[in-house]
């Protein structure tokens, strides 16, 4: 007789022989005993947990010659034929190979025929989630109302792929994974009956490798028996599976507890002989530390899933709780950094050495002796104290402030001079310090420039020697010419404020346009007033309590009113238009015009904007004018303020028209309606040309 594998030989033939799944067996046994039979059952769960086995037992319970019962006899012809897989009324269908709708239609065509021998015709559809959507649709009606002599049993490992219409027509039972304890218990019984010598550690290895599947555990046991020549030994199983010796993990942890670096590296060497996955080894250490932490918090909560409960409890007694948490956290960080290590084993060793090196400072076994110097000098920067002569000291105790020399022009790169054996060391050239440069502007009085010095950090040397102070470098006089100076520097410009000096910083070409303000709106040259209205509307949309700009103290009259009428006719835009919109005309003396600009907009003003505005006036009047702009807050209304005022007037008129509307008033009175003023926008009327 040919050999029969353990997974088939020990397949349960009744509910009593089933291992685990008590929650499913109880419901099925009670339903069979009370004759409360459903027409469709769905069993879900991972591979090898008993889905097909339970379906075959149900088929025997329904068709046993002794009657419908939860305990089939197993001796009648029906039970024997079902066990041997040749019962004609048990139709087993592999949905993975019969996914087409034509296969489902053929199955449904045979449903109408009564069973040949048994009481019920049982359709067992395995891996039902592999059916196509058309097959599911064809199956729906028959699955909901099959003939009374037909039972459907569906099995799947992926119930999420089943349509909700299928799930709602079945009684669903979810089978659980097998725990390592249950697998080891069953393997102990099977190997005892089979007279196969075994070790408990070998069974625990098989139980964990099965990953919740009893069929996988039985198949691995068959392989282990063949590998071990009729015996199931831990060493053979470990070699067969290529898994890590769990005892070596404890060797590593014991070396950590003892603080023995030699034993720690020796344990790593033994691990390396097996060629393990170092990331997996670190994961095993973290799993043990996790269980040790549970044992310290709740000893009864430690499971024996790895067969090492006693060793975990012993570690929990020997290892302080703070060390457990520290090792676990460092192991997590080590797993993250392990791919960055040049060598996986080296990265693993560094994680363990880091665990060994760092201990809480208040523990009795913490290292008390400071680390010896490594030959690197330390220096601190102190800009408030001058450099003093420093003797040659130990690198760990050397702390010398750097020297600061007032320098105003670039000097060569720092050169470190090697000290000679003579008592007097060679002076060293200091690096370039940072000094604030002063530009000679035409409106500045010829005074001595004040140099603002900032500290510079000297380079760190192997030996700190005395460094003499260097004399300050000569500074250029205020009258010295600035090469390549922009032409606007020499132009006659009225005396500016501090803001003007901030704008005229060196290194910036003022002929270039400054970056546009995000809140600035490009004006429409067809209607400059419309541009000002949009600008005021943009400012009104901001959360500021008052619109920008603020209203003027007095309405525009005289020259200020003429400027309001002239502004829309000038061909200007961008920042120049914004500058002109916030100015007012103060005086006109022949061809010389004087404007006052609100200082709040001085950040946008420079000589380039003044020149462009002057050019626009010359082009409009067809003659050459001389324009002067002073940063003084206008007392009369500017074009921007006028646009803001008109915008506010139109907004107020729009709100009044809403409140005065009879229909709105009726809604407020009858329904308690509330007018949201932030949603009211006035209708913009076109501004006539020349207005």
Name the helix (H) or strand (E) containing 588. strand 583-589
Integer Cα distance of 224 and 208 in angstroms: 14
Which of 219, 187, 182, 214 lies closest to 202, judged by CA? 187
- pLDDT for 596 equals 86
In the chain, list all ranges with CATH 3.30.300.150.
495-503+510-691
Model confidence band, residue 362 (pLDDT cutoffs 50, 70, 90): low
- pLDDT tens sequence across 225-268: 999 888 899 888 888 887 776 778 888 888 888 888 888 898 88
In the chain, list all ranges with CATH 1.10.8.60.
180-241
- The highest-level CATH class for domain 180-241 is mainly alpha
- pLDDT for 441 equals 41
Q: What is the 3-state secondary structure (H, E, C) of 598-645?
A: CHHHHHHCCHHHHHHHHHHHHHHHCCCCEEEEECCCCCECCHHHHHHH
Q: Pull the structure tokens for residue 253.
A: 């942890």
* Fold classified for 6-174: Rossmann fold (3.40.50)
- pLDDT tens sequence across 501-536: 444 434 444 444 444 444 444 444 444 445 445 555
Residue 343 DSSP symbol: S
**CA separation (Å) from 602 to 441, 490, 611?**
18, 21, 15
According to DSSP, the β-strands at 121-126 and 150-156 are: parallel
Using DSSP, state whether 253 is helix, strand or coil.
helix
- pLDDT for 459 equals 43
In the chain, list all ranges with CATH 1.20.272.10.
246-357
Q: Is the pLDDT of residue 445 over 80?
A: no
What do you get for the CA distance between the two ends of the chain, in Å? 114
In the chain, list all ranges with CATH 3.40.50.300.
6-174
Q: Please, what is the Cα angle at 403 between 398 and 406, to 5 degrees?
A: 170
**CA separation (Å) from 318 to 256, 272, 343, 367?**
11, 27, 32, 20
Name the helix (H) or strand (E) containing 225. helix 214-227
Q: Is the pLDDT of residue 220 over 90?
A: yes
Identify the CATH assignment for 246-357 out of 1.20.272.10, 3.30.380.10, 3.40.50.2000, 3.90.1640.30. Answer: 1.20.272.10
Integer Cα distance of 463 and 420 in angstroms: 11
Using DSSP, state whether 166 is helix, strand or coil.
helix
Q: Pull the structure tokens for residue 408.
A: 């105003």
We find that the CATH architecture of domain 495-503+510-691 is 2-Layer Sandwich (3.30)
Half-sphere exposure (Cβ direction) of 357: Cα atoms closer than 13 Å:
9
């Amino acid at each position: 007789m040919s050999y029969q594998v353990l997974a088939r030989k020990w397949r349960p033939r009744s509910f009593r022989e089933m291992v685990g799944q008590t929650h499913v067996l109880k419901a099925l046994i009670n339903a069979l005993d009370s004759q409360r039979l459903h027409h469709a059952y769905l069993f879900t769960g991972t591979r090898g947990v008993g889905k097909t086995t339970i379906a075959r037992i149900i088929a025997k319970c329904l068709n046993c010659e002794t009657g419908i019962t939860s305990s089939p006899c197993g001796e009648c012809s029906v039970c024997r034929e079902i066990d041997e897989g040749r019962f004609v009324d048990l139709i087993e269908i592999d949905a993975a190979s019969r996914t087409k709708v034509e296969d489902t239609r053929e199955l449904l065509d045979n449903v109408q025929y009564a069973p040949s021998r048994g009481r019920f015709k049982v359709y067992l559809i395995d891996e039902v989630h592999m059916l196509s959507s058309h097959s599911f649709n064809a199956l729906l009606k028959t699955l909901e109302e099959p003939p009374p002599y037909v039972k459907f049993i569906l099995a799947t490992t992926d119930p999420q792929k089943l349509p909700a219409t299928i799930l709602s027509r079945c009684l669903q039972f979810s089978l659980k994974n097998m725990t390592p304890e249950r697998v080891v218990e069953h393997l102990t019984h099977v190997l005892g009956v089979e007279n196969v010598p075994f070790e408990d550690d070998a069974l625990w290895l098989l139980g964990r490798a099965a990953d919740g599947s009893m069929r996988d555990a039985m198949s691995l046991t068959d392989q282990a028996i063949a590998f071990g020549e009729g015996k199931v030994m831990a060493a053979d199983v470990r070699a067969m599976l290529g898994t890590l010796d769990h005892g070596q993990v404890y060797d590593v942890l014991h070396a950590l507890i003892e603080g023995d670096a030699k034993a720690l590296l020796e344990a790593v060497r033994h691990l390396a002989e097996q060629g393990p996955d170092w990331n997996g080894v670190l994961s095993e250490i973290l799993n043990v530390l996790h269980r040790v932490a549970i044992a310290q918090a709740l000893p009864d909560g430690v499971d024996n899933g790895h067969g090492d409960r006693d060793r975990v409890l012993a570690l929990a007694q020997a290892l302080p709780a703070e060390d457990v948490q520290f090792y676990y956290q460092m192991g997590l960080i080590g797993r993250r950094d392990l791919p960055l290590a040049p060598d996986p084993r080296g990265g693993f060793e560094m994680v363990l050495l880091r665990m060994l090196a760092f201990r809480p400072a208040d523990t009795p076994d913490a290292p008390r002796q400071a680390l010896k110097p490594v030959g690197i000098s330390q220096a601190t920067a102190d800009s408030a104290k001058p450099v003093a002569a420093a003797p040659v000291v130990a690198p760990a105790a050397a702390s010398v402030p750097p020297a600061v020399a007032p320098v105003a022009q670039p000097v060569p790169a720092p050169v470190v001079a090697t000290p000679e054996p003579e008592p007097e060391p060679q002076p060293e050239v200091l690096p370039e310090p940072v000094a604030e440069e002063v530009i000679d502007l035409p409106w500045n009085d010829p005074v001595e420039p004040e140099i603002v010095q900032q500290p510079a950090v000297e380079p760190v040397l192997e030996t700190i020697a005395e460094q003499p102070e260097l004399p300050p470098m000569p500074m250029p006089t205020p009258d010295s010419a600035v090469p390549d100076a922009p032409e606007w520097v020499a132009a006659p410009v009225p005396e500016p404020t501090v803001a003007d000096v901030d704008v005229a910083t060196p290194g910036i070409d003022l002929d270039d346009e400054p970056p546009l303000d995000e809140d600035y709106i490009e004006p429409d040259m067809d209607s400059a007033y419309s541009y000002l209205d949009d600008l005021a509307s943009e400012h009104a949309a901001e959360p500021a309590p008052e619109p920008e700009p603020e209203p003027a103290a007095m309405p525009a009259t005289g020259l200020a009113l003429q400027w309001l009428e002239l502004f829309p006719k000038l061909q200007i835009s961008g920042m120049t238009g914004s500058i002109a919109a916030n100015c007012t005309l103060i005086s006109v003396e022949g061809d010389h015009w004087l404007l006052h600009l609100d200082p709040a907009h001085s950040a946008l003003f420079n000589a380039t904007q003044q020149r462009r505005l002057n050019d626009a006036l010359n082009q409009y009047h067809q003659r050459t004018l001389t324009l002067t702009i002073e940063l003084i807050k206008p007392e009369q209304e500017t074009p921007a303020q006028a646009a803001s005022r008109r915008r506010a007037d139109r907004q107020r008129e729009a709100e009044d028209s809403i409140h005065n509307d009879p229909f709105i008033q009726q809604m407020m009175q009858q329904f308690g309606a509330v007018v949201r003023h932030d949603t009211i926008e006035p209708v913009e009327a076109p501004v006539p040309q020349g207005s």
